[in-house]
C-alpha cells in the first residue's frame, strides 16, 4: 500500500512538532504545530501539584526525562511525595534503585489523595482532540522521532547512545537505515512508543533533522560533493558528514556544554578529521566517529538547523530551511525518510 498520508511527530526536549502530511497537498497548507514537549507538559503538571502542596503519582509509559526529572527533584525537595509505577519511574533512570534513592516510591496502585500524572512521549488523545477542534482528522500512519539514550544501567548513557551511531556507521552509514519499524530492544523510549502505536515508524530526532535539512534544495546539492549537517537542539547538538546517500561521520555533544567558539572549533575539526572522540567525551559530550573513507583535511560546507541554532551566529553557516520552515525540519525529515522507505519496500 502506497503512503498517501502521514502524521509526523518530532519530540524534543523543548518542543514537540507536528506535521500532517497528505500526498498532493501543498506543504504550505498542511497542518503544523509546535507545542511544548511531553516532558515539559508533565513537568508543568508536577509543578502545579507542588504549588497546591499535593503529592503526585506518575503512571503510564517510559518517556524522556529532562524537565520531568528536574520537576520531580523539586517536588521532593519541597517535602512532598512522589510515587511512580516501575515503567513510569524508568523515565527517571535505568536503575530503579537510583530512582528509589532519589526519594521516589515505586508502587503499582495510586495512593489516596495523590495527583495522578500520566507519562508518555505520545499523547495521541490530546493530539486528536486538539486537531478535532479545527475539524482535522489525523492520518492512521505515524512516524515519530525521539532522542533515545537506550537502556544502560551501570554504564555511561552517553557512551551507550554514541555506540548506536558507531554501529550505524559500521553497517555502512546509509541514510535510509536511519528510519525503522523495528527499533533495537535496548532503545526503550522507541520500544515504549511501539507499544502504544505498533505500526509506527521511528527514528532519532537528530537523524530526522538531518533528513529534513537535506530537503533544502541548496543543501541537497551540496550533499552531492559533501556537506556537514549540524542540528543544534535544545538538549543535544549532532553533526553528520553526508555525501550522497551515506553518512560519513557523526559528532554529538550536549548543547548546554557548548558556546559559539567551542562549537565552531569542534565542528570544524570534526569535518577535517582532526577531532578526537576522547576530547568530546571529556567535555561531557557523547563522542565523534568517522568512516575510514571519510575525507581528511577538507572543509565541507555546513548546513545548520535546530531550535538553538543562534549558538552558531556569526559563523557563516547556512541555515537549512526546507519548505521555508526551520522548526519543522524534523517532521519534513520523517516524511521524506518514510516515503523513501515505502519506495524501497
Q: Tell me the per-residue pLDDT of 209-250, one tens digit each, with 9 for 90 and over.
A: 999 999 999 999 999 999 999 999 988 999 999 999 999 999
Q: Is residue 221 part of a domain?
A: yes
* Structural element, H or E, at residue 172: none
Q: Is the dihedral of CA 59, 64, 68, 72 positive or negative?
A: positive
Q: Locate cell 502505536: which residue?
A: 197
Cα dihedral 149/150/154/159 (nearest 10) = -50
**Residue 1: per-residue pLDDT:** 53
Assess whether 183 and 260 both reside in one domain.
yes
The order of strands in the sheet holding 105-106 is: 105-106, 82-84, 56-60, 115-119
26 within some domain: no
pLDDT in tens, 259-298: 999 999 999 999 999 999 999 999 999 999 999 999 899 9
**Dist. CA 144–CA 293, nearest whole Å:** 31
What is the structure's pLDDT at 6? 97
Residue 308 lies in a domain: yes
Both 59 and 185 in one domain: the answer is: no
Domain check: are 101 and 185 in the same one? no
In a domain, 212, yes or no: yes
Q: What is the pLDDT of residue 2?
A: 77
The whole-angstrom separation of Cα 212 and Cα 305 is 9
CA–CA gap between residue 10 and residue 147 (Å, rounded): 10
State which residues form the domain around 86. Answer: 38-119
Which CATH number characterizes residue 110's domain?
Answer: 3.40.50
Domain boundary (119, 134, 152) is at 119
Q: Which residues of 18-38 are buried (b: 16+ CB within 10 A; e: fewer)?
A: bbbbeeeeebeebebbeeebb
pLDDT of the residue at 154? 80
How many CB atoms lie under 10 A from the CB of residue 185? 10
SS3 174: strand
Residue where a domain stops, chosen among 65, 87, 119: 119
| Cβ atoms within 10 Å of 96's Cβ, excluding its own | 16
Rounded to whole angstroms, how far apart are CA atoms 199 and 265? 42
Classify residue 8: in a domain, yes or no.
Answer: no
The pLDDT assigned to 121 comes to: 97
User: Strands, DSSP E only, in the chain?
Assistant: 5-11, 15-22, 31-36, 56-60, 82-84, 105-106, 115-119, 142-146, 179-180, 201-204, 227-232, 236-243, 246-254, 287-290, 302-305, 318-319
Q: What's the whole-model pTM score? A: 0.94
* Boundary-marking domain end, from 119, 151, 168: 119
Whole-number pLDDT of residue 225: 95
Distance CA 151, CA 170 (A): 21
Q: Are 173 and 106 in the same domain? A: no
Edge to edge, the sheet with strand 302-305 lists 287-290, 246-254, 236-243, 227-232, 302-305, 318-319
Please state, in angstroms and as integers, the Cα–Cα distance from residue 298 to each residue in 199, 226, 301, 310, 322, following that order: 42, 10, 10, 25, 26
Using 70 as the pLDDT threshold, list the residues of the chain that sit under it.
1
The SS3 of residue 22 is strand
Dump strand ranges (E) for 91-141.
Answer: 105-106, 115-119
As a whole number of angstroms, the distance between CA 217 and CA 220 comes to 5
The answer to whether residue 18 is domain-embedded is no
Beta-bridged to residue 250, according to DSSP, are 240, 289
Chain centre to alpha carbon of residue 25: 27
Amino acid at each position: 500500500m502506497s503512503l498517501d498520508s502521514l502524521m509526523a511527530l518530532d519530540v524534543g526536549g523543548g518542543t514537540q512538532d507536528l506535521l500532517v502530511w497528505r500526498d498532493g497537498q501543498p506543504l504550505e497548507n498542511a497542518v503544523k504545530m509546535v507545542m511544548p514537549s511531553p516532558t515539559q507538559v508533565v513537568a508543568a503538571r508536577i509543578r502545579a501539584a507542588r504549588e497546591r502542596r499535593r503529592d503526585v503519582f506518575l503512571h503510564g509509559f517510559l518517556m524522556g526525562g529532562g524537565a520531568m526529572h528536574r520537576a520531580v527533584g523539586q517536588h521532593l525537595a519541597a517535602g512532598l511525595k512522589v510515587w511512580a509505577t516501575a515503567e513510569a519511574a524508568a523515565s527517571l533512570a535505568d536503575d530503579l534503585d537510583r530512582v528509589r534513592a532519589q526519594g521516589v516510591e515505586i508502587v503499582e496502585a495510586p495512593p489516596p489523595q495523590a495527583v495522578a500524572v500520566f507519562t508518555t512521549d505520545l499523547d495521541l488523545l490530546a493530539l486528536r482532540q486538539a486537531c478535532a477542534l479545527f475539524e482535522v482528522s489525523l492520518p492512521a500512519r505515524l512516524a515519530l522521532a525521539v532522542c533515545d539514550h537506550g537502556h544502560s544501567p551501570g554504564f555511561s548513557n552517553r557512551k551507550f547512545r554514541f555506540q548506536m551511531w558507531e554501529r550505524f556507521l559500521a553497517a555502512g552509514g546509509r541514510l535510509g537505515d536511519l528510519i525503522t519499524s523495528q527499533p533495537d530492544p535496548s532503545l526503550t523510549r522507541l520500544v515504549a512508543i511501539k507499544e502504544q502505536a505498533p505500526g509506527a515508524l521511528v527514528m532519532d530526532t537528530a537523524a530526522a533533522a538531518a533528513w529534513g535539512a537535506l530537503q533544502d534544495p541548496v543543501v541537497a546539492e551540496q550533499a552531492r560533493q559533501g556537506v556537514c549537517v549540524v542540528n543544534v537542539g535544545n538538549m543535544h547538538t549532532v553533526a553528520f558528514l553526508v555525501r550522497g546517500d551515506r553518512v560519513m561521520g557523526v559528532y554529538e555533544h550536549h548543547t548546554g556544554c557548548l558556546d559559539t567558539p567551542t562549537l565552531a572549533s569542534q565542528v570544524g575539526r570534526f569535518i577535517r578529521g582532526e577531532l578526537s572522540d576522547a576530547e568530546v567525551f571529556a567535555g561531557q559530550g557523547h563522542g565523534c566517529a568517522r568512516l575510514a573513507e571519510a575525507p581528511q583535511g577538507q572543509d565541507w560546507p555546513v548546513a545548520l538547523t535546530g531550535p538553538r541554532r543562534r549558538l552558531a551566529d556569526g559563523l557563516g553557516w547556512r541555515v537549512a530551511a526546507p519548505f521555508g520552515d526551520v522548526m519543522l525540519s524534523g517532521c519534513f525529515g520523517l516524511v521524506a525518510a518514510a516515503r523513501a522507505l515505502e519506495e524501497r519496500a
